Structure 1
Amino acid sequence: MLRKSIDQDNEVLFAGHYPYLSHQNLGKREAMLGIGGNIGDVVRRFEHLFTFLNRSALVHIKETSPILKNPPFGYMDQEDFYNALIRIETDLTPKALLRYILKVEKRFGRKRLFKDGPRTLDIDIIFYENMSINDEKLTIPHPHWFERDSVLIPLAYLKGYPV
């Protein structure tokens, strides 16, 4: 695993399938998933998640960013977070994709103790095509993505996605 310090708070990790770039294009709808966690061996969990998603018939992984190790926000008395982005293609609608990723989180032992608290795995839909959705269950683009290092820094590393 290669580590690169960005500044006093943030470090980028190059490990396994992070980053990854597929040259296969299935011509489906494109979405950007943000993944994060800070409980247990998160880097290993991200690798398992990559393998799981890569075998799924519901999504095709187009690209992943390197993993960002960064400080928490909101509730500060916890370990640093690991975050990455996964660019996918899918035939799922945004709401069906949300249902799918919630099931994936549960399969991977998701534990979210309280808002902005420690968690084993969190998967968010950051973007879905150029859509805007704002209802009680789903907001796309993800709120405040443009203010978060956990999205902006990994996004800058993606080759197939214009920043």
Structure 2
Amino acid sequence: MTTIQTFTDSSEAYIALGANLGDREATLKEAISLLDEHPGITVLRCSNMYETDPVGYADQPDFVNMAIALQTTLTPEALLDVMLQTEQVLGRKRIVKNGPRTVDLDLLWVEGQQSATAHLALPHPRMFERAFVLVPLADIVPTEEASGLYRRVHDALEQMDDKGGVRFWKACNWASASVRSGS
């Protein structure tokens, strides 16, 4: 049994989500629901969904990408473990590096915290280089975000030469935490 480490206080974290196999939208919504059902996680906001060209391994279907903001009492390492478990529940198989997948969850940012371990790098080392991460993230990072993420996301987008391959697909209609039923 895995021991879940928690903070005494909560932190705001940002996660990138992507899928290019099966019912992409349904899988992303299920991932959000599974995360939100965890007692140490409350999903706050979700971005629009964007259809994106594959990066790296190009011989695969287009992705649907999005981002979510959440409040968590979990440590970044424990949050990452919950994310990996969620991928596994939703059928993620790691066969080809950057290959097709039912779901991909990447921990991008936790209130400006830094980590450089074999298990976790924060902030995500390539997040500011990828339009398919930055465009959805720009939808949900508030201007008053205290750790500087808003400015970094918008600066990176302004400096990015090529935002091609990222197309608005549809608005996220996931029910927010404010209307979630208590159990």
- TM-score relative to the length of structure 1: 0.79
Aligned residue in 2 for 1:4: none
Question: What are structure 1's unaligned runs of at least 5 residues?
Answer: 1-26
Aligned residue in 2 for 1:77: 59
Aligned residue in 2 for 1:93: 75
CA contact (8 A) 2:68 2:140 kept: no
Give the letter for the 2:81 counterpart.
R
CA contact (8 A) 1:111 1:121 kept: no
Q: Which has the larger radius of gyration?
A: 2
Instruction: Give me the whole-angstrom Cα distance separating, in 2, the residues matched to 1:95 and 1:157.
Output: 25
Cα shift readout 1:33-78 (whole Å, capped 9, x = no counterpart) = 1111101111011122222223221200011101111001111111
Cα shift readout 1:111-154 (whole Å, capped 9, x = no counterpart) = 23211110111111000111111111111111111110111110
CA contact (8 A) 1:110 1:121 kept: yes
Deviating beyond 3 angstroms after TM superposition, the runs of 4 or more aligned structure 1 residues are: none
Instruction: Give me the whole-angstrom Cα distance separating, in 2, the residues matched to 1:42 and 1:78.
Output: 14
Partner of 1:105: helix, strand, or coil? helix
Matched, 1:146 2:125: no
Q: Alignment partner for residue 53 of structure 1, among 35, 40, 46?
A: 35
- TM-score relative to the length of structure 2: 0.71
More helix by share: 2
Matched, 1:36 2:18: yes
Cα shift readout 1:77-129 (whole Å, capped 9, x = no counterpart) = 11111111011111110111111111111111112321111011111100011
CA RMSD of superposed structures (Å) = 1.4
Aligned residue in 1 for 2:4: none
Question: What are structure 2's unaligned runs of at least 5 residues?
Answer: 1-8, 154-183
**What is the CA distance between 1:159 and its match in structure 2?**
5.5
Q: Compare 122-131 and 151-160 and name the one that shifted more.
A: 151-160
